[in-house]
């Protein structure tokens, strides 16, 4: 559980840190951000995971997400991992922003040359939580998960696959059915191969169709999002949740796009929503 501190800064009475460690899952060094709000000595705090989208690192939400005031108010730790393995030895698709580094899609790749390092599912579901539990005042019995775009896809699928672990699941402009849209077909096909049945555990709509359940979901989606019709398709998630009896609050936010201007506007709402469910 060796971890190095890259930086720590006081914010809203708590500590915003960036840390690094050598990951066994990805076989690389990995950076991640953690905000720990002010708290009493010995207290254990609920944890909210934020999974970032295509091209992003931990730094995007840390610098532009505007979550710290809400996390300090509600006493919630926020953890922001990277989106993919990094390093000179990690294969990449240099001319493709939506595949390779920065585009891990939170899967455990099975196809070469991706299988060795692109193990973001196991990294997020197992390895990093073990490190967070060991090194931070985290109550791992009270976890929620959220994310944006590709990270919204990650939050929904990880939350659905691990409903016993995550008490609350939300997303900002998520890719809800990657098996049915260009971003997802490209990523899942190249990371996992041609067997589309294997894709279903990385597709929120398919997981729900196959029986995965959470009590409720919160999704915010901008109506001016340039990716709305071709890549995101929230109506597919709404239909799947209706058929499954999942309470899905899908808020179409008029005039908002896909950027962090949108995310930061509604971030405090999401933190409060998770805090109410995490106790």
Catalytic residues: 149, 225, 258
- The token duo for 182 is 């260009």
Please report the DSSP string for 207-265 in residue order: HHHTT---SEEEEEEETT-TTIIIII-HHHHHHHHHHHT-EEEEEEETT--SSHHHHHH
Contact by Cβ (8 Å): 36, 18: no
Other Cβ atoms less than 10 A from the Cβ of 12: the count is 16
Other Cβ atoms less than 10 A from the Cβ of 223: the count is 11
- The token duo for 181 is 């849209």
Phi-psi region of 233 (alpha: psi -120 to 50; beta: other; left: phi over 0): left
Contact by Cβ (8 Å): 239, 176: no
Q: Which residues pair with 220 in a beta bridge?
A: 172, 251
Q: What DSSP character marks residue 41?
A: T
Contacts of 220 (CB under 8 A, 6+ apart): 170, 171, 172, 173, 251, 253, 262, 266, 269, 270
Contact by Cβ (8 Å): 173, 183: no
What is the number of H-type helices and E-type strands within the chain? 10, 9
């Amino acid at each position: 559980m060796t971890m190095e501190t890259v930086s720590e800064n006081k914010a809203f009475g708590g500590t915003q840190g960036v840390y690094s460690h050598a990951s066994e899952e990805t076989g690389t060094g990995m950076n991640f951000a953690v905000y720990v709000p002010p708290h009493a000595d010995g207290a254990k705090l609920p944890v909210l995971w934020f999974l970032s989208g295509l091209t992003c690192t931990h730094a995007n939400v840390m610098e532009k997400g505007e979550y710290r005031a809400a996390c300090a108010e509600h006493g919630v730790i926020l953890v922001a991992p990277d989106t993919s393995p990094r390093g000179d030895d990690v294969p990449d698709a240099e001319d493709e922003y939506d595949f390779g580094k920065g585009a891990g899609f939170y899967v455990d790749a099975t196809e070469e040359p991706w299988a060795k390092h692109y193990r973001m599912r196991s990294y997020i579901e197992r390895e990093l939580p073990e490190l967070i539990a060991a090194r931070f005042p985290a109550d791992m019995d009270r976890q929620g998960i959220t994310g944006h775009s590709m990270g919204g896809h990650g939050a929904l699928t990880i939350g659905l696959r691990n409903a016993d672990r995550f008490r609350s699941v939300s997303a900002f402009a998520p890719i809800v059915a990657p098996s049915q849209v260009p971003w997802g077909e490209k990523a899942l096909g190249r990371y996992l191969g041609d067997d589309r049945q294997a894709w279903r555990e990385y597709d929120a709509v398919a997981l729900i169709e196959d029986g995965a359940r959470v009590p409720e979901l919160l999704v915010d989606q901008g109506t001016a999002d340039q990716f709305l019709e071709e890549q995101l398709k929230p109506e597919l998630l709404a239909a799947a949740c209706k058929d499954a009896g999942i309470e899905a609050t899908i808020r179409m936010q008029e005039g908002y796009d896909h950027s962090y201007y949108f995310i930061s506007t509604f971030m405090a709402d999401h933190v409060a929503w998770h805090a109410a469910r995490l106790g």
